Amino acid sequence: MAVGIIEHGKIYYQKGFGTTSTGQEVTNKTKFRVASITKLLTAQAALQLVEKGKLKLDDNVNKYLSEFAEQNISIQELMTHHSGLKDRLIS
């Protein structure tokens, strides 16, 4: 685990604890995969926009993200892992 405490852009504390799955010591520079944790926050924000009438779950994602111009994927399909997109790591 790596911990950082930041307030108003100033770092007050940062430290790594334990080891990675490959046995390397965790430091404050160790990179971790975020995985699906951010999906909870993104889905909540998207649903708030739905409540305000600013988007619809059946909207095509390419309406908002040009990099998906060739895809026929709805926002709901992205949020529920039904888009057919492959999982990939970005480094």
* 48 is a domain residue: yes
Longest dimension (CA), the chain: 49
Residues 24 and 53 reside in one and the same domain:
no
Q: Which two tokens stand for residue 69?
A: 């111009």
Same domain, 44 and 75: yes
Domain interval for residue 19: 1-32
> Following DSSP, what letter does each residue of 48-67 receive, concatenated?
HHHHTTS--TTSBGGGT-GG
- Note whether 60 and 74 are within 8 A (CB): yes
pLDDT, residue 6, reads: 93
pLDDT along the chain (91 residues), means of 10: 92 94 91 78 92 94 87 86 66 52
The model carries a pTM of: 0.53
**pLDDT recorded at residue 72:** 87
CA distance 67 to 40: 22
What local confidence, expressed as pLDDT, does residue 89 receive? Answer: 52
- d(C-alpha 28, C-alpha 15), whole Å: 5
Residue 91 in any domain: the answer is no
Residues 6+ away with beta carbon under 8 Å from 13: 3, 4, 5
In a domain, 90, yes or no: no
